[in-house]
Structure 1
Amino acid sequence: MRDSVEDIEIPLLLEALYQRYHYDFRQYAGASIKRRLLQARAQLGFSSISAMQDSLLHNPDTVPRLLNYLTVQVSEMFRDPSYYRALREKVLPHLRTYPSLKVWIAGCSNGEELYSLAILFREEGLDQRTLFYATDINPSALQAAEAGVYPLDQIQKFTANHQKSGAKSSLSDYYTADYGRAVFDKSLRSRVVFSDHSLVTDAVFAEMHLISCRNVLIYFDRELQDRALGLFKDSLARKGFLGLGSKESLRFSAHAASFSEFVSEDRIYQRREP
């Protein structure tokens, strides 16, 4: 069966995006990338994927617009509250034994996961000894994360998630309401390093005690998942922790033997002794 024209065009566009701007989506899951590119084509007003590629190559302003479709920016604070409860009750007692901590939020999107962890660590008295690294490949997502501003109509759900995570304070302690927005306290990001980092092309940059990368690997093909998991393995301190999304697993990874299941139902793993 012959490929459709779009199935021919899409690899060419992804190759152009990589060669011209060094954003590499070539090993992302094909069905997901196709769906997002078709949505981008329609909403950005291009007649074809090839027309979008032409604009991409000759008009750099197309790049950030396209990245907003290729990178997933849907999240919420304390998403899957049992994950944060497991961190609070089972992981942080181990991390508490270290004099200083490094936490990496890989694929931080608009920052909801970052602020969730910053609040959790503050509630547990660990924020002042922790350095957080929030990374993403999308510059506009990083700007949104650094701003820490979210629609006020999301706060009710954020608050409910926070309470289910075993909260020791009120979420309202950490933001001010302003013209339909919730503006989170800048002190929450006083120990945060925001940085562009690609799990596809970039290398290890620090030794971490906890890496949280949730709902990112599901968009990668198997080879790219293994690359990212190898990066996490090499980035973790001895007996450090890795948290994945609820639909993600190490089960079929080439690096599975390097980790033990720590809280299996919440996809939290611990780096085995080398």
Structure 2
Amino acid sequence: MHNKIEDIEVRLLLEAIHLKYHYDFRGYAMASIKRRLIQARDRFGCRTISMLQDLVLHDESILMELMGYLTVQVSELFRDPAYFKAIRETVVPHLKTYPSLKVWIAGCSTGEEVYSFAILFREEGLEDRTIFYATDINQDSLRKAEAGVYGLDRMRLFTENHRLSGGKSSLSDYYTAAYGAATFDKSLRKRIVFSDHSLVTDAVFAETQLVSCRNVLIYFNKDLQNRAIGLFRDSLSNRGFLGLGAKETLRFSSHVDGFAEFARDERLYQKREEA
């Protein structure tokens, strides 16, 4: 019974957030969002999720902190290096045939993925013809992404990932270290547009040649996954590329026929020619 009441409370809270703040989490997978809301409930010292709802509705500053729980902030530079290696070796040769490129990093979180692409594209001589769109619904994450500052203790892992991804330089060439933090070079940001965008409610905003959206769809229910993949399909030019996370697939999507598997193990797909 308690579980059932909690489910009702979760639905009411998500409805309240949508009505007041226009952030729509109602199509997110129930199990994961409930788990994260219970963590938030405990963090804010609330006895129930209903009490958390009361807090959020009457104090806007709570929402921004709550967004940290509702949107997943786990990333690293060149995360899953084999993915970036596959892009470097198999996708980049195709991208080199375009005079200009647009790349969309959807759900960019605190920016690790977009900096990975900026570095990879610089190493492959594609940076100057590329615009990167880095989007997320969490304003706080976008601010962190734009700052490009990460803990120095994370650099060993980032450096190893970069090496395994086929990196052609030393990662330390791209950041300066001071006071326990690594600040990534401002020049990496000159081709990046950071922007607030929701895969749940917003529309396509550009024609792109590559979309990378990793470890976002696992938090969506089936309808929302289909909506997001539909956006990517509409955004991609003919024969453009889509990259998903290691646990994600197009296999059960209503858009599966719109894509060909390009590098199956690395979850890279290529949009089929449209008549």
Partner of 2:259: 259
* Shift, 1:3, TM fit: 5.0
Matched, 1:191 2:191: yes
Matched, 1:181 2:181: yes
CA distance in 1, matches of 2:111, 2:22: 23
Partner of 1:113: 113
Residue type matched to 1:225 in 2? Q
CA distance in 2, matches of 1:108, 1:186: 18
Partner of 1:36: 36
Kindly report the root-mean-square deviation, in angstroms, between the aligned alpha carbons of the 2 structures: 0.9
* Shift, 1:59, TM fit: 1.0
* Shift, 1:48, TM fit: 1.3
Report the identity percentage: 67
Task: Within 5 Å, give how 1:1-274 maps onto structure 2.
Answer: 3-274=3-274
* Shift, 1:2, TM fit: 7.8
**CA offsets 1:84-125 (integer angstroms, 9 cap, x no match):** 000001001000000000000000000000000000000000
CA distance in 1, matches of 2:204, 2:7: 33
CA distance in 1, matches of 2:186, 2:6: 45
User: TM (normalized to structure 2)?
Assistant: 0.98
Moved more, 53-62 or 66-75: 53-62
Query: Secondary structure of the equivalent of 1:61?
Result: helix
**CA offsets 1:18-76 (integer angstroms, 9 cap, x no match):** 01001000010100000000000001222211111111111111110110100000111
Residue type matched to 1:23 in 2? Y
**CA offsets 1:132-166 (integer angstroms, 9 cap, x no match):** 00000000000000000000111000000000000
**CA offsets 1:181-214 (integer angstroms, 9 cap, x no match):** 0100010010111000000000000000000000
CA distance in 1, matches of 2:261, 2:91: 12
Q: How many residues align?
A: 274
User: TM (normalized to structure 1)?
Assistant: 0.99
CA distance in 1, matches of 2:50, 2:3: 15
CA distance in 2, matches of 1:7, 1:256: 32
Residue type matched to 1:201 in 2? T
Query: Secondary structure of the equivalent of 1:243?
Result: strand
* Shift, 1:6, TM fit: 1.0
Query: Secondary structure of the equivalent of 1:4?
Result: helix
CA distance in 1, matches of 2:64, 2:47: 19
Query: Secondary structure of the equivalent of 1:199?
Result: coil
**CA offsets 1:211-249 (integer angstroms, 9 cap, x no match):** 000000000011110000000000001110000000000
* Shift, 1:4, TM fit: 2.6
CA distance in 2, matches of 1:59, 1:156: 40
